[in-house]
Chain A
């Protein structure tokens, strides 16, 4: 045997040994690549929650958009971390999307509450001038409210339903001083019963800080809020603590409201969550009531990680039940194995010895492919499995092309050795050109998936592309090397094994 040929065989053996050991060991750590544990499965195979948000950039200057998006991503990461979901995948999809994937997690509702909420905490007090005139307020349409006296109402102030009740609150968007009409955000509904002040005007609760009047918001909180159950009712509450500035503001505000035991409204993302009447002047600490336990837990995390600097809109959400994912994986795997077994049988039956060699080359192909998937973080999805199966078809095709060519060469009277060489050489242009065109399609598919944000398409294209490249390698290097080796054994003499 030629020296070069022996080296090729040794190389293949080493490669197979490497692949086998990578696949055998559960957790591997390699230089440059880092630690890898098993294959990464997509949400469709292991179940989980997928949330895709679009950032609202309408009020954000362009230079600030990217920074805010990064900051938003960081805060979401912190929220999810504090929540304790294993292996979350959170990334920015340019230019304005944030994708959150929580594998193995099924509670999409809580995930939405936790991730997508801005969680802007604002403290407000009732405006005396505004509220008194509201008793006589008449609604003149969905969004416009006529009031007796418009003074005291200001844009950005908030109207709440009922006297201190919790519930929806809407921001005032315009104040018309001439006709005493205020406009609020759409969707505002309230009951109008005689004599009762049915809607309240909530204005920001402010205090003096470093000589300036400042509103009290969640920005001044220390990141140590926590949930507690308040005796005797065991009602869940969130306990929070102010930083130095926050304490100054809180002390001034509670001091003022305490005189008449006025309510202090606590608004989360413009929703009134509680409005306790202030019973004493307090500074450093406070408590938020009126929450369910899971809401309280979510709020505590959100207060500790901070409000998002952007408003997010849900554009795509997906949930796959983990059991459904596992079932899909199992079914596809069984289907793949049965299909593959049929294919191998067919190859051996039809091409005999070369077919058997091609089968062993295919197994090596599979091992290399799996090794790459394990080392390179390719997320395996159902589409990816389809790509793997298609690439097996392509790998078989390369072998079929070569064998058909070999058979022709044997028929034309060439010796076996010459026929093998000629078979490979003649088949090469067809393998090269056909696979290259598939690679072009893969590249375009990848681009398509990327611009359109379709992770399954990208996964499919990447998997197929890798599969095509590996299939070319196994057909040209591995199968050829095996065939040459056969030439040096007694099997080569039995031409029937090659079925001409």
Chain B
């Protein structure tokens, strides 16, 4: 028997440190912060495939000479590059023929002249009017999802005393997972081109679903054990429930990880970041069900949580006779 509940302070400490580090990387100072995708900022993105070998530095230099020093360039596969720029113009004059062409085509022609045959494999273009309002929509979606899940858990655990606490603990674990995913993403963003795009948001929302899914399985066991045997301290019940669901938790995450790993290593470059989000999310989601959601339930029930908050925010003592 592993004593999970006894080590709860360690889980809180470890998670706290990871989240704090993540938040440091999330703060947009200097090289830190998230890179917002063109869906949020507007702009253009294209995948170029070269026939001859080209280095990223050469490409960066050439793009700068074309007036796009802001271009973010990343190699995806051999001689294939993803180039992200500000929104390219609809029409520019070809410097040689004077013909009106798109700026994308003008860039392609220039690169072709310098580096040999170039093919535009994919391009993506978002105008500023489209980019507006997306951020708020995504935030609303997360909040609505959290509230919906909170309500459902409260309802599903209605036979227990204080079912609301189960809901709140599941939501805290969910926020914990999202923060860690965001933090790791921001951290990796220092080394690779990792943008917050629609697929990323989809990934985060999926992680939310997975996190809650996993938490509920543990909570379900706690619910069952609480109704089955009364009089046992909650810490013991929670620990037993974690032990009993441990095999399932590990097996399920393992099987899901098999699939995700295969997709991460062998799948196309386009879903690489998306799958990475899911990978982190599955690991963190499994951990948080045991280390955060369940433990939070214990400290809340035992009054430790109240004590913790009282220590941080001293209760105002009414002054007599003033």
Interface residues of A (CB under 8 A from B): 44, 52, 54, 108-109, 313-321, 323-324, 327-328, 331-332, 334-336, 338-340, 342-343, 346-347, 350, 382-383, 385-386, 389-390, 392-394, 396-397, 400-401, 404, 408, 426, 429-430, 433-438, 440-445, 447-449, 451-452, 454, 456-457, 460, 464
Partner of A319 from the list B120, B260, B265, B268 (CB cut-off 8 Å) is B120
Residues of A with C-beta under 8 A to B245: 404
Residues of A with C-beta under 8 A to B260: 339, 389
Q: Name the residue on A nearest B207 (C-beta).
A: A441
Kindly provide the distance from the CB of A77 to the nearest chain B CB, expressed in whole angstroms.
23
> In residues 23-44 of chain B, which contact A (Cβ within 8 Å)?
none
Complex-state Cα separation, A464 to B210, whole angstroms: 12
Q: Are A393 and B145 in contact, CB atoms less than 8 angstroms apart?
A: no
Interface window among B186-194, B215-223, B231-239, B308-316: B215-223
Partner of B263 from the list A339, A426, A438 (CB cut-off 8 Å) is A339
B102 sits at the interface (CB 8 A): yes
Residues of B with C-beta under 8 A to A340: 259
> In residues 84-137 of chain B, which contact A (Cβ within 8 Å)?
90, 102, 105, 119-127, 129-130, 133-134, 137
B280 sits at the interface (CB 8 A): no
Complex-state Cα separation, A382 to B105, whole angstroms: 27
Q: Are B268 and A328 in contact, CB atoms less than 8 angstroms apart?
A: yes
Q: Are A441 and B120 in contact, CB atoms less than 8 angstroms apart?
A: no
Q: A386-B274, A390-B256, A401-B248 are in contact. Are A437 and B213 (CB under 8 A)?
A: yes
Residues of B with C-beta under 8 A to A408: 244
Kindly provide the distance from the CB of A118 to the nearest chain B CB, expressed in whole angstroms.
15
Q: Name the residue on A nearest B105 (C-beta).
A: A109
Interface window among B2-10, B59-67, B195-203, B291-299: B195-203
B168 sits at the interface (CB 8 A): no
11 contacts between A and B (CB under 8 A): A318-B123, A342-B259, A390-B206, A396-B256, A404-B247, A430-B216, A434-B214, A444-B141, A448-B201, A456-B198, A457-B201
Instruction: Give the 5 A-B residue pairs with the shortest CB-CB distance, closest first.
Output: A339-B262, A441-B209, A393-B256, A335-B266, A339-B259
Q: Are B248 and A400 in contact, CB atoms less than 8 angstroms apart?
A: yes
Q: Are B221 and A430 in contact, CB atoms less than 8 angstroms apart?
A: yes
Q: Are B130 and A437 in contact, CB atoms less than 8 angstroms apart?
A: no
B20 sits at the interface (CB 8 A): no
Residues of B with C-beta under 8 A to A327: 268
Q: Are B205 and A436 in contact, CB atoms less than 8 angstroms apart?
A: no
Kindly provide the distance from the CB of A171 to the nearest chain B CB, expressed in whole angstroms.
18
Complex-state Cα separation, A338 to B266, whole angstroms: 9
B21 sits at the interface (CB 8 A): no
Kindly provide the distance from the CB of A414 to the nearest chain B CB, expressed in whole angstroms.
16
Interface residues of B (CB under 8 A from A): 47, 90, 102, 105, 119-127, 129-130, 133-134, 137-138, 140-141, 144-145, 148-149, 152-153, 156, 198-199, 201-202, 205-206, 208-210, 212-214, 216-217, 220-221, 223-224, 244-245, 247-248, 251-252, 254-256, 258-263, 265-268, 270-271, 274-275, 278
Q: Are B199 and A456 in contact, CB atoms less than 8 angstroms apart?
A: yes
Residues of B with C-beta under 8 A to A429: 220, 223-224
Q: Are A437 and B220 in contact, CB atoms less than 8 angstroms apart?
A: no
Residues of B with C-beta under 8 A to A400: 248, 251-252, 255
Q: Name the residue on B nearest A335 (C-beta).
A: B266
Total cross-chain contacts (CB, 8 A) = 215
Kindly provide the distance from the CB of B242 to the nearest chain A CB, expressed in whole angstroms.
13
Q: Are B212 and A441 in contact, CB atoms less than 8 angstroms apart?
A: yes
Q: Are A335 and B265 in contact, CB atoms less than 8 angstroms apart?
A: yes
Complex-state Cα separation, A448 to B130, whole angstroms: 15
Extra contacts besides A382-B270, A404-B251, A441-B212 (7): CB < 8 Å: A335-B262, A336-B263, A343-B258, A383-B202, A437-B216, A456-B198, A460-B202
Q: A313-B129, A343-B255 are in contact. Are A321 and B216 (CB under 8 A)?
A: no
Q: Are A324 and B126 in contact, CB atoms less than 8 angstroms apart?
A: no
Q: Name the residue on B nearest A401 (C-beta).
A: B248
Complex-state Cα separation, A445 to B145, whole angstroms: 8
Residues of A with C-beta under 8 A to B274: 383, 386
Kindly provide the distance from the CB of A190 to the nearest chain B CB, expressed in whole angstroms.
15
Q: Are A320 and B122 in contact, CB atoms less than 8 angstroms apart?
A: yes
Q: Are A331 and B266 in contact, CB atoms less than 8 angstroms apart?
A: yes
* Best-buried of A314, A433, A447 by chain B (most CB within 10 Å): A433
Q: Are B259 and A393 in contact, CB atoms less than 8 angstroms apart?
A: yes
Residues of A with C-beta under 8 A to B141: 444-445, 447-448
Q: Are A456 and B202 in contact, CB atoms less than 8 angstroms apart?
A: yes
Residues of B with C-beta under 8 A to A346: 254-255, 258
Q: Are B212 and A336 in contact, CB atoms less than 8 angstroms apart?
A: no
Residues of B with C-beta under 8 A to A464: 206, 209
Residues of B with C-beta under 8 A to A392: 259
Complex-state Cα separation, A23 to B47, whole angstroms: 35
Q: Are A386 and B198 in contact, CB atoms less than 8 angstroms apart?
A: no
* Best-buried of B251, B259, B275 by chain A (most CB within 10 Å): B259
Q: Are A440 and B267 in contact, CB atoms less than 8 angstroms apart?
A: no
Q: Name the residue on A nearest B220 (C-beta).
A: A430
